[in-house]
Amino acid sequence: MARATTPRRKALTTLAAWTVALIIFFPVLWMILTSFKTEASAVAMPPEFLGASWTLENYAEVWQRSDYPRFFWNSVVISVGSTLLGLGLAIPAAWSMAFVPGRRTKDLLMWMLSTKMMPAVAVMIPIYLLFQWLGIYDSKIGLVIALMLMNLPIIIWMLYTYFKEIPSEILEAARMDGANLWNEVLYVLTPMAVPGIASTLLLNVILAWNEAFWTITLTTTKAAPLSAFIASFSAPQGLFYAKLSAASTMAILPILILGWFSQKQLVRGLTFGAVK
């Protein structure tokens, strides 16, 4: 803000911001620290910080006991696949809503919001029955479709807001130059909307990666991604906190790395393009 310009003010703001960040980040830090402790050290009272005995044993054991690469690969296929499929459906739909708005456009947006009013529990059984009937229960294809639908409203919504920012004159100019509709969408609109599409893609990959309700409900073993891996981890193994922390860290690490390198696009995605 304009008034925060004096050096003292700036120092105070810096301090406040870093304190907030530290408080927010502490639980994650604690989990990562715990994952490197021995089980005895992890449950020591009072909690051990620097004097703890450190080990890589937890990671080795989690790796050995479970098929981490398979879960990881399932997560990648499901989150990327559902997002790409969603974009394929959403780009034309958002084009329609942004550039050929009709009387029904608002109703459509409302209808998409209504899918967010639906508790997952309410459609759990019908979806389960549908997937069994279609033979896509516990398959990657099934989860790609399920998560795509879960995120489709938000994908369309985001693309719609981005597309509306693009002046329709540019599309008209392309049309005057003889571009047909397909070329207009594919070669004029899509490249112009790349930043918006990238943000949408990233956000939805993360949402799909973290989804747990449907991935657990709709899989047993074959197609289970990392969220199911982490859910399955504590039950039979008892409460081994250090190992649980190691497994959790392994489950969130890929997404944290992805998020870290793409935070700008991500923030833009989360805020519908308002934060530059």
Partner 1 sequence: MTTSKIAKGPSLQQQRVRAAFWFLAPMLVMLAIVAAWPLFRSISFSFTDATADTIFNGKAAWVGFDNYIEQRVRSNGEIRWRGVLLDAEWWNAVWNTVRFSLVSVALETVLGLLVALVLNAEFKGRGLVRAAILIPWAIPTIVSARMWGWMLNDQFGVINQMLLTVGLISEPIAWTARADTAMLAVLIVDVWKTTPFMALLILAGLQMIPRDMYEAAKLDGIHPVKVFFRVTLPLLKPALLVAVIFRVLDALRIFDLIYVLTPQSDATVTMSVLSYRQIQQFGDYGEGSAMSTLLFLIITAFVLLYIKLGRVDLSGEKS
Contacts (CB under 8 A) with partner 1, residues 179-208: 181, 206
Nearer of residues 33 and 223 to partner 1, judged by Cβ: 33
14 binds partner 1 (CB under 8 A): yes
40 binds partner 1 (CB under 8 A): no
Q: Which of 175, 214, 167 is nearest to 192 (CA)?
A: 167
> What track of x and - describes contact with partner 1 for positions 106 through 125 (by CB under 8 A)?
x-xxxxxxxxxxxxxxxxxx
CB of 10 to partner 1, least distance (A): 6
166 binds partner 1 (CB under 8 A): no
Q: Which stretch binds partner 1 (CB under 8 A): 51-59, 60-68, 84-92, 190-198?
A: 84-92
- Which one among 21, 170, 173, 186 touches partner 1, defined by CB under 8 A? 21
DSSP 167-234: -HHHHHHHHHTT--HHHIIIIIIHHHTHHHHHHHHHHHHHHHHH--HHHHHT-SSTT--HHHHHHHHH
CB of 44 to partner 1, least distance (A): 8
Nearer of residues 154 and 223 to partner 1, judged by Cβ: 154
Nearer of residues 60 and 125 to partner 1, judged by Cβ: 125
Extract the tokens encoding 242: 């250090």
170 binds partner 1 (CB under 8 A): no
- Which one among 143, 246, 252, 265 touches partner 1, defined by CB under 8 A? 252
Asked if 226 contacts 163 with a C-beta cutoff of 8 angstroms, the reply is: no
Q: Is 178 left (phi over 0), alpha (psi -120 to 50) or beta?
A: left
Burial 84-100 (b: 16+ CB within 10 A, else e): ebbbeebbebbbbbbbe
